[in-house]
Each structure stands twice: as structure tokens, then as C-alpha cells.
């Protein structure tokens, strides 16, 4: 066993660099040698270590004391330990942000491991002969990936790393000697967020909300078409951490036709299924937007765990998409109803009818709440920013449930017209004599308590309605 300490309790400790963690490993030994669980997913994640999904194991063998390597910041996470010998390890934060340049160091023997997040520079110095330095990484190495590395000189004065063996007596490669000082280092940018479906109402709301962010890529159907797999295959997913799927086929009645049915299933089911596979493979967070049409509307209030019961093709395709997305380990499904945003929608139609002197008949036996696109975008931002628990969340505006006729009357009132010009009618009467009409759920009201429990307070639907119309309640 030599001088290795035994009896340590497995534990995980936060280091001064955000995301950098030091792990005390339990080593068991006797006169024959020693044994340790170097990486134990279940135990370590329970103690707070990231479930980072390693896919490759590398070993650096160092024959002599003084061999020094680094400082290399790589575009993946790594888990470092020592198989034999000892090293002096040093880490410098080379990511964009307020901790850029922060440094930490410690000695590592077989009883210590370190988790190094993407973008934190790693360096080590062998302190004994025949030292084996081993590390797990969660992406496969490739020559192309080297272009994403960030480097810092081992002798950088700002980091001021107190090497056990002075660098002028250490063994360094010529490449490592030539790395830049901190003032000349370009920080590693964060992974990006990809928003798919920016042509729609929610896509435009997300584009407006994240307009000032340099780490968000916004793409429309001309770039990513969920019904065409090739448009997904062309994306370099390694640069992303998050996908927000705001794309959907929402032509509810057209989905009942032969052509519409194929498109609905391609965009609403197969497309999200492909995104779920990509998110799983690349360990991305997948945000997906669903609908009240996943239910038949017999329940007056819908909770997140209500079983699917879609009435038509549109709802069926969306429910299938939800099922696929739920297979991704890191997912948010936001179930929405009656979406109102920038573009053609029910509110704008009613306002236009009021201005033109039209007295409409509007359905009064379908009840729910409006979901303003800006409010859905705010909820997405909240869930991602706060790191809320993954899963399904109901998202709509708050307030008393209303019928489409109630909302139409409110639009007439807010735009200065007589709300009594709106005639309430039943769904059956409204669609009488019309063919190719998809069935609608009678109740679309969501229980919002799960969303509220994670710190989000939905705005009242009629407050946002007044804001959209440029009026006050």
C-alpha cells in the first residue's frame, strides 16, 4: 500500500472555480496493493457530481518527475485521476465570464480525483517516476476538435501557479512553452442555444426576448425543416447545449386531410423524435412545446400527468412527439393552449371584425385560457435560467377560464366596440354544414401549480390581451 492513505470516505467538494470539483476517493488496500472505485456513477452523482456521460478514457504515462503538461482547455468535460504516482495539478478558468483567469491547484494521488468542466484549462506536473495520469472525457477526440481548444502558458504570471518543480527544471514540450499569456488568450465561449421554428408566433417571441444574446442561433424552416432529416444532419451539434423546438404543424383542420396528415406526423412526431435522439447522443437540453389538443377535453382542468387522449390527427401527432421528447434525459415539455403572438391569430381577427362592423358568432362551449407567445418565451427562459427540474410543465396565462366568445367580447370592449355584437354559439352550431373540421377539446384549462412552484408567476390573460391591443383594463 505504500504511503497511500486509506479509510477516506467518498465525498465531492466544490473548488473556487465554478463547476470544478475535487473528489476524495475511498481506497482499500493491504500488503498486496490497493483497490478503488475510480468512477462510480451512481454514488458520485448522488453526491453532486455531474452525470457527464464519459465516452473515452485516456492515459498519459510520465516516466520522470518534472514532466509538465498544459495548460489546455478542451471543449468537453473531463474527470481526472491518478493510477500510479503523484502529480501537482493546476486549473485555470479560460471561459468567458467573470471568473476568467481564476486558478486553483492541488496535489493528486490515487485517492483524489478532479472533475474539470468544459473550458477550464488543465495542467499537471509528475512528481514521481512512472506516473500514470488518467482521464475520462464525454466527447470523442478528433483532430478537428483541436481547433476549439484554448491554451494558456504554464508560466503565466497572472495565474501564478506555484509549481512544485520550477519550470526551468521541468520537462516541457515546445508547444506548451509557446502558449500565450492570459492577456492574449481568447476565452472559450459558452455552448450555444439553437431555436428552431423562428417563423412562427413563439419563434418570433423568443427572437425578441433573446435579441441581445450572442450565444443564441435562430433558424427558420428554410434552414431546419423537421420533416427533412438532412437539415438536422448538417448541424454541428457539438457547439450547442440547448435546443428549443418552437416549430410545429398547427393546421388543425388540414391535418385531417391525406396530405396534411403526412406533414403533421413528419413535423410534430418524427421531427421531435429525431431531436430527442440528437439531444440524448450529445447530452443537450431539449425544450419542446406541446398543446391542449393532446387531450380530449373531458377533464375540466388538465394536470401534467393526465394520460393522452387526443381526438384528431393534430393532437395525435403532438402526443406522439411528446412521448418521443420525454425519452431525452434532459428535456422540458411545455404544454400550451390558445397561443396568441405576432402574426395571424384569433385576437387580431376579432379586432379586425370589430373595426369593419362585423358581428360574429363565436363558440361559447370551449373553455380555456390564452397563452401569449411572450409569456411562453418568458417561461422557457425561466426554466432554463433557474435550472428547474426536467419534465413536463403546463404553461399558459393565468386568470379565470373563459370561452372563445368571452374573449371575443373582451376584444370588442377593449377596442371601443359593443361586446354584445358577439353572439355566443355552441361548437356544434358553429360548424354545422362544414366538412373537414377536426374535433376540438371542450376544456383546455391547465393546472399551473407546478410552474408556479418553480418560481414563475404567470400574467393574467386579460392583462396581456389589453397590452396587445394597446389598451388598459
Q: Return the active site residues.
A: 72, 135
In 3D space, the residue among 411, 421, 395 whose CA is nearest the CA of residue 473 turns out to be 411
If you ran DSSP here, which 8-state letter would residue 191 be given? P
In 3D space, the residue among 123, 120, 106, 20 whose CA is nearest the CA of residue 71 turns out to be 123
Return d(Cα 243, Cα 278) in angstroms, integer.
10
Total residue length of the chain: 473
Return d(Cα 212, Cα 386) in angstroms, integer.
19
Element (H, E) at 115: strand 112-116
Give the list of residues 6+ apart from residue 338 with CB closer than 8 angstroms, or none.
292, 346, 368, 369, 370, 371, 396, 444
Return d(Cα 304, Cα 314) in angstroms, integer.
19
Return d(Cα 200, Cα 291) in angstroms, integer.
15
Kindly give the pairing relationship between strand 445-446 and strand 301-302.
Answer: parallel
Residues in a beta bridge with 287:
244, 332
State the CB neighbour count (10 A cutoff) for residue 230: 7
Residue 423 three-state SS: strand
Element (H, E) at 88: strand 87-93
Amino acid at each position: 500500500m505504500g504511503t497511500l492513505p486509506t479509510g477516506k470516505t467518498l465525498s465531492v467538494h466544490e473548488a473556487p472555480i465554478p463547476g470544478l470539483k475535487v473528489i476524495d476517493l475511498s481506497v482499500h488496500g493491504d500488503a498486496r496493493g490497493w483497490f478503488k472505485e475510480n468512477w462510480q456513477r451512481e454514488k458520485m452523482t448522488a453526491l453532486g457530481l455531474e452525470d457527464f456521460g464519459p465516452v473515452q478514457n485516456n492515459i498519459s504515462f510520465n516516466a520522470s518527475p518534472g514532466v509538465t503538461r498544459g495548460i489546455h482547455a478542451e471543449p468537453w468535460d473531463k474527470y481526472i485521476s491518478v493510477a500510479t504516482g503523484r502529480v501537482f495539478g493546476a486549473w485555470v478558468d479560460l471561459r468567458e465570464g467573470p471568473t476568467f483567469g481564476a486558478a486553483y491547484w492541488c496535489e493528486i494521488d490515487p485517492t483524489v480525483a478532479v472533475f474539470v468542466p468544459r473550458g477550464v484549462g488543465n495542467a499537471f506536473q509528475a512528481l514521481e517516476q512512472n506516473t500514470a495520469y488518467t482521464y475520462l472525457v464525454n466527447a470523442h477526440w478528433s483532430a478537428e476538435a483541436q481547433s476549439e481548444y484554448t491554451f494558456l502558458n504554464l508560466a503565466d504570471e497572472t495565474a501564478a501557479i506555484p509549481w512544485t518543480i520550477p519550470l526551468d527544471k521541468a520537462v516541457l514540450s515546445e508547444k506548451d512553452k509557446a502558449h500565450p499569456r492570459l492577456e492574449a488568450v481568447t476565452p472559450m465561449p459558452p455552448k450555444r442555444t439553437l431555436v428552431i421554428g423562428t417563423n412562427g408566433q413563439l419563434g418570433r417571441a423568443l427572437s425578441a426576448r433573446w435579441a441581445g444574446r450572442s450565444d443564441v442561433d435562430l433558424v427558420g424552416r428554410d434552414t431546419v425543416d423537421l420533416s427533412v432529416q438532412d437539415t438536422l444532419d448538417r448541424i454541428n451539434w457539438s457547439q450547442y447545449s440547448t435546443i428549443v423546438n418552437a416549430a410545429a404543424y398547427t393546421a388543425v383542420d388540414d391535418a385531417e386531410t391525406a396530405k396534411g396528415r403526412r406533414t403533421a406526423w413528419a413535423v410534430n412526431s418524427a421531427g421531435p423524435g429525431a431531436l430527442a435522439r440528437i439531444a440524448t447522443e450529445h447530452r443537450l437540453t431539449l425544450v419542446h412545446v406541446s398543446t391542449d389538443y393532446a387531450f380530449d377535453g373531458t377533464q375540466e382542468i388538465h394536470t401534467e400527468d393526465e394520460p393522452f387522449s387526443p381526438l384528431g390527427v393534430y393532437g395525435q401527432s403532438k402526443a406522439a412527439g411528446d412521448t418521443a421528447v420525454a425519452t431525452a434525459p434532459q428535456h422540458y415539455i411545455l404544454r400550451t393552449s390558445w397561443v396568441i403572438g405576432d402574426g395571424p391569430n384569433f385576437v387580431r381577427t376579432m379586432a379586425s371584425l370589430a373595426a369593419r362592423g362585423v358581428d360574429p358568432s363565436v363558440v361559447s362551449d370551449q373553455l380555456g385560457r390564452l397563452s401569449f407567445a411572450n409569456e411562453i418565451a418568458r417561461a422557457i427562459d425561466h426554466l432554463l435560467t433557474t435550472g428547474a427540474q426536467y419534465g413536463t410543465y403546463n404553461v399558459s396565462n393565468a386568470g379565470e377560464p373563459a370561452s372563445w366568445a368571452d374573449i371575443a367580447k373582451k376584444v370588442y370592449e377593449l377596442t371601443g366596440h359593443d361586446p354584445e355584437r358577439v353572439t355566443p354559439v355552441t361548437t356544434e352550431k358553429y360548424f354545422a354544414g362544414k366538412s373537414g373540421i377536426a374535433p376540438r377539446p371542450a376544456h383546455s384549462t391547465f393546472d399551473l401549480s407546478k410552474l408556479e412552484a418553480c418560481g414563475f408567476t404567470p400574467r393574467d390573460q386579460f392583462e396581456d390581451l389589453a397590452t396587445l391591443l394597446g389598451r388598459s383594463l
